[in-house]
Structures are given as structure tokens and as C-alpha cells.
Amino acid sequence: MGWLRDETGLEKNAANYVPLTPLSHLRRGALVFPNRAAVVYGDRQWTYGEYHARVTRLASALAQAGVNPGDVVATLLPNIPAQSEAAFAVPACGAVLNTINTRLDTGTISYILDHGQAKVLLVDSQFLPAAMTAIADMEGPAPLVVEVPDPVAGVPEIGDQIDYETFLDAGDPDFDWIMPADEWESIALNYTSGTTGRPKGVVYHHRGAYLATMGTPITWEMNLHPRYLQIVPLFHCNGWTHTWMLPVVGGTAVCCRDITAKAIYDAIADHGVTHFGGAPIVLNMLVNARDEDRRPFDHIVKVKTAGAPPPAATLAAVEPLGFDVMQVYGLTETYGPATECTWKPWRWDDLPAEDRYTIKARTGVLMPFMEEVLAMDPETMTPVPWDGETQGEIMFRGNCVMKGYLRNPRATREAFAGGWFHSGDIAFQHEDGYLKIADRAKDIIISGGENVSSVEVEGVLMHHPAVMLCAVVAKPDDTWGEVPCAFVELKDGRAVTEAELIAFARERLAGFKTPKQVIFGELPKTSTGKIQKFELRKRFG
């Protein structure tokens, strides 16, 4: 199919075929936009020429430190310039980038460093104590630690490790980037939130990263030179690939370490931010900002939001403030957002406000780099009817689906059963094909954009000597979208207060995983003793 009868002499060669990689974007950006701002942080700014030079020296320094192609370089950093530089420098020396969630507990960080076999760890000074505790608990070889202080945010160097600027200065400014020979080579390793047991290592390839960066600006209506506020953590799906994308359009990455309403309004007013992504909690921040934190601006800011769909009331409140919001959906396994609620003005602009915002909260349709995204019957592996009510599991096929899970062939086979990636999320499709998530499989709670496993939280609570049974479900929250709420049945003759049980969990879990409320009483069960979580959810309406 698709071949001429005689293809003699039409083979791939170095002139007509180059493996796709987002590394090409920054090399081009340095050539085409050498004097334009590439990165801004506080009152500091780096042009594309300077950005490219720093990335080159970092790539060289990593190679000099013994990082070989195929090795893993990990980061434990907030959204500061070093994190953006690592996004390009690590693959530029042939290595694989592993951005670690700064909110994780030390035990999970230790596991990730061990499982990924990191050779080097770039770590912000604020997180250095946690990193060193995690490294001390590793079973395998410890990585070389490079400390990254942040003078802009007033975070000074505190350790005896080599500091980032010294490490970078030792790099060769003429280092020749190691470009992939095959676009299927791995570019990034991202760990899931551990919704079932240990987190799984999701592996991205250069091809998928490249295609995501080319498709996103098209549907987001990005013109040349957007100014993008880095709110999405770069440890979440490599910032939804947006950092790799910006050089395509000569855009500016405005770094944002601490996400507050004031920081967002200041970035828009002072740096002309035009785009950003974030969880619905960010929208709530903007709506509920104090008057003294607000700043006027005279342009529309385009926003992509993902996580628990924002309530129509939130969209109705935030858009008049100057924000054009698009709901997107995806997973770590799909490089971040893979569907979006593409707006059709000729159909929906004239609808009543309530109807418009209800449509805007849909999960949406596939983005350009995906081949198919459908609600499927997992038993028959056929699409469910597009009737707005028949539910199925969201499944994906396309170039921005992960390679698989690192050293976990069983989980990879299960995820790709039947030739589709199984998301585990339940949805229906409207007659126009737009998906709408109806429920989350495996009781995942999405709190402020972070995935929380009810099973993990329940496992911790069950260790308390007073707890006989417990069930954790999502409770709606105006700030975080959802928060974990624990229903607990106590052992006879034992007692514990809500505050004590929350403190018990907090000592063993990351803050966002800790229950925000504990309700005591007998749990509803089936005749076989299975806890009926749907009955518990009903209590929240």
C-alpha cells in the first residue's frame, strides 16, 4: 500500500530523513531568534542565544561527569530556569530526563532514584535535605548531586555539593549535541503518582515529544512570540511538553516558582504573559484573589486547564476577568493533554451563559497528534454509542502515547491490551464526539492537579491501631477541586480523634494525599463485606 511500483533510489538518506526531536527547536531558535527573550525569571532574562549556550555547557558538564547516552539524569526542581535548561541539556547529551515531583515523600523519591538508576540529580536548595535523606535510603548507587540555589527567590546554597553554576561553567561551550539516531529513542522518564502501589516509570520518545510540540500551538492559536507562564510543574509530563514547544514559535518562558494569584497577575502585567496552563485551583485563585493582588491588563490570556473539570460557575467567574479557558485532558502516559474542548463559535457563541460554560467543561476531542481517542467497551473493544449517556473507558491510539512502563512488561501489556492505551477513566461521548468524563476508575482523587490514590491513603490509615476499616473518597472542594475524605470505622473499645488521625497520615504521606476530613461511623457494605464507596460519595451530593 502506498508504494510506487518501482521505488529504486528513493530510500531514506541523511538529506531527506532526520529523526524528529524537540532538540531541533532550540537549535533553530538560537539561529532565528538569537536576541529575543527565551527565559525570564524575576528581573533576570536570557536570550535564545544565551539559553542555547547555557544548555550546551550543561550538556557538556553532564557528559564530563560520566553521563553516557541512555543514562538517566534526575531533577528535583521547581519551575526555575535550571529546570528549563535541563529539559534540553539532558537529551542533548544523549541522556534521559527524569523530573521528580518535589511534593513527594522521601521514600518515594528514593524509590524513583533507585528504579530509574539516576546518574546525576539536580536539586533545588530547598529540597536538598529531603533529597539527601532519600539518597541515604537508596539500595543502588547514589547519583552525583548538583545543588541549585535560587537567589531570585531568596533560597541560598546550603550544602557541600557542587553548585549548579560552577558545574555549568565547567562545560565546553562548543560541545556537539548528541542528536538521536532514531526518533524512538527515549527522551524522558516520568513517574506516575503511584495510584496503585509503587509509581510506574512512563517512558517518552523523541518522536512523540516533537509531535506534541507541533500540534499544541496550532489548536491553542499561538502566534509568534507568545509569553508563556510556567505554572504547570515541569515534573508533570515535562510541563505538558510546553517548554520544548516554545522555541518553535520564538516564545518566552516566564518562570514561576511559587504559584499565587499575585504572582500570576504580576507576570501578566509586568511580562505580558499571553498563555499558561494549570489545574482548576489556579482559576479559583484568580477568581478569589484579594483586591491588592490584582493587576490590570489589556489583553486576553489563553488558559488550558486540566484535572477535575472546572465547575461551570468557576468558568463563568474567571472568563470576564480576561481569561479564555480551554478544558484539556490527558495522562502521564499521553505526554499530558491529549484531548481539548475545541470551541465552535458558530454553534455555541449564542447559547445562554450556563450552557456555554457547561460545554466548556467537557473533556473534549482528540488533539492533532492523536490518531483516535474514544470511549470503548473494554470487554468487546468496540466504541460505545455516541448518545451522551452510554459509558465506556477512554482509550487512546496515537504518536503521543508512551513507549511503555520502565522494566514493567506486565503493566505495559495490560495498558496496551487490544492495541489501545487503556486510561482507566470512564466517560461517555456526545453525538458530536466530544467526550465527558463520568467517573475515575480505581477511585483516583484529583486534588489541585495531583493524583491521589484512595488505596494508598487507606493503606496508611489502616496501620493506626484504632482503625478497623476505612474508605477514602473524593470530597468536592472550592479551592482544590477535590480533596481526600476518609470514612473510618473504629475497633471496639478504641478511640482516636479526627485531628490525631489526620496527623498520623500526614507523617506518612505527602501533604496533598492527606485526608482533609475524617468521618467516623459504620461503613456501608455489600452482603459479601465489600465497602460501597458510591454510597459514601452520595453524602456529598
Please state, in angstroms and rounded to a whole number, the distance separating the CA atoms of residues 446 and 474: 8
Please state, in angstroms and rounded to a whole number, the distance separating the CA atoms of residues 424 and 444: 10
Number of alpha carbons in the 13 Å side-chain half-sphere of residue 371: 10
What's the grid cell of residue 496? 482516636
Query: Where among 179, 210, 234 does a domain terminate?
Result: 179
Closest CA to 195 of 472, 6, 467: 472
Check residue 149 and give its pLDDT. Answer: 98
What's the grid cell of residue 173? 561551550
Q: Express the helix, strand and coil content of the chain in percent, nearest 5 each.
A: 35, 25, 40
Q: Kindly indicate the confidence band of residue 500, based on its pLDDT and cuts at 50, 70 and 90.
A: very high
What's the grid cell of residue 403? 513507549
Closest CA to 447 of 409, 414, 477, 417: 477
Check residue 442 and give its pLDDT. Answer: 57
- β pairing state of 365-366 and 336-340: antiparallel
The answer as to whether 121 is a domain residue is yes
Report how far apart the first and last C-alpha atoms of the chain are (Å, whole number).
55
CATH number assigned to the domain comprising residue 62: 3.40.50.980
Residues of the domain holding 135: 23-28+46-179
219 pLDDT above the threshold of 60: yes
390 pLDDT above the threshold of 80: yes
DSSP letter for each residue of 167-205: HHHTS-TT------SSTTSEEEEEE---SSSSPPEEEEE
Check residue 154 and give its pLDDT. Answer: 96
Number of domains in the chain: 2
Residue with cell 475524617: 518
Write the CB contacts of 207 (distance below 8 Å, at least 6 apart in sequence): 19, 20, 21, 183, 184, 399
Please state, in angstroms and rounded to a whole number, the distance separating the CA atoms of residues 338 and 367: 5
The answer as to whether 389 is a domain residue is no
The answer as to whether 56 is a domain residue is yes
Higher pLDDT, 283 or 46: 46
Please state, in angstroms and rounded to a whole number, the distance separating the CA atoms of residues 39 and 26: 12
The answer as to whether 200 is a domain residue is no
- β pairing state of 227-230 and 252-255: parallel
Taking only the tens place, the pLDDT of each residue in 445-459 is 888 888 787 777 887
Taking only the tens place, the pLDDT of each residue in 39-58 is 999 999 999 999 999 999 99
Write the CB contacts of 344 (distance below 8 Å, at least 6 apart in sequence): none
Q: What is the average pLDDT across 390-409? A: 96
What's the grid cell of residue 177? 549535541
What's the grid cell of residue 446? 484529583
Please state, in angstroms and rounded to a whole number, the distance separating the CA atoms of residues 322 and 283: 12
CATH number assigned to the domain comprising residue 483: 3.30.300.30
Query: Where among 159, 179, 199 does a domain terminate?
Result: 179
H or E element at residue 447: strand 444-447
- β pairing state of 301-305 and 275-278: parallel
Check residue 306 and give its pLDDT. Answer: 87
Q: What HEC string does 36-94 produce?
A: CEEEEECCEEEEHHHHHHHHHHHHHHHHHCCCCCCCEEEEECCCCHHHHHHHHHHHHCC
Residue with cell 558538564: 61
**Burial letters for 243-257: b for 16+ Cβ neighbours within 10 Å, e otherwise?**
bbbbbbbbbbbbbbb
Which of 159-168, 271-280, 381-390, 434-443 has the weakest average pLDDT?
Answer: 434-443
Check residue 153 and give its pLDDT. Answer: 96
- β pairing state of 252-255 and 186-191: unpaired
Query: Where among 152, 179, 206 does a domain terminate?
Result: 179
- β pairing state of 162-163 and 144-148: parallel
* Count of all residues that appear for the chain in the document: 541
Taking only the tens place, the pLDDT of each residue in 92-114 is 999 999 999 998 989 999 999 99
The answer as to whether 98 is a domain residue is yes
Q: Kindly indicate the confidence band of residue 195, based on its pLDDT and cuts at 50, 70 and 90.
A: very low
The answer as to whether 291 is a domain residue is no
Check residue 538 and give its pLDDT. Answer: 84
527 pLDDT above the threshold of 50: no
CB distance 327 to 310 below 8 Å: yes
Burial class (CB in 10 A: 0-12, 13-18, 19+), 211: buried
Q: Name the CA radius of gyration of the chain, rounded.
A: 24
DSSP letter for each residue of 370-423: EEEEEEEETTTTEEPPSSSS--EEEEEEETTS-SEETT-HHHHHHHTGGGSEEE
Please state, in angstroms and rounded to a whole number, the distance separating the CA atoms of residues 428 and 431: 10
The answer as to whether 501 is a domain residue is yes
* pLDDT mean across residues, the chain: 93
User: 50 — phi, psi (to 5°)?
Assistant: -70, -40
CB distance 502 to 518 below 8 Å: yes
Taking only the tens place, the pLDDT of each residue in 129-171 is 999 999 999 999 999 999 999 999 999 999 889 999 999 999 9
Burial class (CB in 10 A: 0-12, 13-18, 19+), 103: middle
Please state, in angstroms and rounded to a whole number, the distance separating the CA atoms of residues 496 and 500: 6
Q: What residue type is assigned to position 34 of the chain?
A: P
439 pLDDT above the threshold of 80: no
Which of 120-124, 266-270, 280-284 has the weakest average pLDDT?
Answer: 280-284
121 pLDDT above the threshold of 90: yes
Please state, in angstroms and rounded to a whole number, the distance separating the CA atoms of residues 136 and 134: 5
The answer as to whether 52 is a domain residue is yes
